[in-house]
Amino acid sequence: MWKKLLLIILITAFSSFAESYINIYSIQVISTKDIKEAKNVYKKISKYPYARIEKIGSYYVVRVGNTRFTKELKPLLKEIKKYYKDSFIRIADIIPERIILANFKFKKEKVKSMIKEKKPDNQEKIKTKKEEKLKFVQNVNSSLVESYINIYSIQVISTKDIKEAKNVYKKISKYPYARIEKIGSYYVVRVGNTRFTKELKPLLKEIKKYYKDSFIRIADIIPERIILANFKFKKEKVKSMIKEKKPDNQEKIKTKKEEKFKIVKDTKDILSLIPDINIKNKTVKIEKTEKQKIKIQQDKVLNIEINEIDKDGINKTLKKYKDTLPYRDKVYAEDIVGRVNEALNTSYRNLKRSKEDYLAYKQFVDLYTKYSNRFKSHINYEYFEDVSRFYLKYQLKKYLWLNSYLYIDNENYFTNSYKKSNYKKLPSIDSLLTIGIKKIFNSSDIIIKLGARKSVELFPILSIDYNFKTNKYWDSTLSLGINQRAEESNLSFYGASKTNLKYSTTISINSKNVISGSTSINNYYSQDFKEIGNGYYFESRYLHKYRIGYPDFSNYIQLSGGFYNEKSNKTGSINKILITPNTQVLPDNFIEACIGSLFGINYIDSYKKQLRPFVDTNICYNTAYNIGYSLFSGLAGEMFDNDNLSFGVYIGKGFFANPYTIFRLQIYYTRWF
Task: Tell me the C-alpha distance between 490 and 487, whole Å.
Answer: 7
383-404 CB burial, b ≥16 within 10 A, e <16: bbbebebebebbbbbebeeebe
Distance of CA 613 to CAs 356, 357, 600, 605, Å? 20, 22, 7, 12
Give the three-state DSSP class for 377: strand
C-alpha distance from residue 199 to each of 147, 151, 182, 194, 204 (Å): 15, 12, 25, 7, 9
Q: Is the peptide bond before 427 cis (omega within 30 degrees of 0)?
A: no
Cα distances from 369 to residues 364, 366, 405, in angstroms, run 9, 5, 13
Beta strand spans in 385-473 (E): 387-399, 404-417, 429-440, 444-454, 458-471
CA distances from 449 to 113, 438, 454, 498, 660 (A): 68, 9, 16, 16, 33
Q: How far is CA 556 from CA 160, 163, 520, 544, 598, in A?
A: 22, 22, 22, 6, 8
- Please give the mean pLDDT across all residues of the chain: 75
3-state secondary structure of 211: coil
- Residue 591 has a pLDDT of 92
Q: What pLDDT was estimated at residue 142?
A: 31
Contact (Cβ atoms closer than 8 angstroms) between residue 614 and residue 647: no
343: phi then psi, degrees, rounded to nearest 5: -65, -40
Least confident of 262-271, 527-536, 639-648: 262-271
Mean pLDDT of 203-222: 84
Residue 548 in this model has a pLDDT that exceeds 60: yes
CATH architecture of 372-672: Beta Barrel (2.40)
Count Cβ atoms below 10 Å from residue 116 Cβ, excluding itself: 10
Please, what sign has the CA dihedral across residues 451, 527, 523, 651? negative
pLDDT digits 0-9 by tens, 593-612: 999 999 988 778 776 667 88
Contact 183, 332 (CB under 8 A): no
Q: Give CATH for domain 2-115.
A: 3.30.70.1070
| Residue of 149, 280, 168, 158 lying closest to 220 (CA atoms) | 149
Which of helix, strand or coil describes residue 453? strand
| pLDDT at position 358 | 65
CA 562 – CA 546 distance, rounded (Å): 31
Mean pLDDT of 235-259: 40
Could you read off the pLDDT of 553-586 as tens digits, one per residue? 899 999 999 999 998 888 888 888 877 777 888 8
**In whole angstroms, what is the distance from residue 591 CA to residue 131 CA?**
60
The predicted model scores a pTM of 0.54
Secondary-structure breakdown of the chain: helix, strand, coil percentages, each rounded to the nearest 5:
25, 40, 35
* pLDDT, tens only, 6-23: 444 444 443 333 344 666
Averaged pLDDT, 136-148: 36
Architecture of domain 129-239: 2-Layer Sandwich (3.30)
Domain with CATH 3.30.70.1070 in the chain: 2-115, 129-239
CB atoms within 10 A of CB 157: 23
State how far the Cα of 606 lies from the Cα of 333, in Å rounded to an integer. 24
**Cα 63 to the center of its chain, rounded Å:** 27
The phi and psi torsions of 476 (rounded to 5 degrees) equal -140, 155
| Domain(s) of CATH 2.40.160.40: residues in the chain | 372-672
Q: Which of 58-62, 347-351, 518-522 has the highest mean pLDDT?
A: 518-522
DSSP state of 11: I
Helices (H) and strands (E) in the chain, counts: 17, 28
Task: Tell me how far apart the alpha carbons of residues 458 and 460 are, in angstroms, rounded to a whole number.
Answer: 7
User: What is residue 418's predicted lDDT score, i.e. its pLDDT?
Assistant: 59
Residue 635, judged by CB atoms within 10 A of its CB (0-12, 13-18, 19+), counts as middle
Q: Residues near 578 by Cβ (< 8 Å), separated by ≥ 6?
A: 423, 424, 491, 495
What pLDDT digit, counting tens, does each position of 275-324 carry?
A: 333 333 333 333 444 444 444 444 455 555 444 445 667 667 776 666 66
Kindly report which listed range (127-131, 143-147, 179-183, 268-272) carries the lowest average pLDDT score. 268-272
Residue 402: which region, alpha, beta or left (left: phi > 0; alpha: psi -120 to 50)? left
Using CA atoms, how far residue 225 sits from 145, 644, 653, in Å, is 19, 36, 53
Contact 199, 127 (CB under 8 A): no
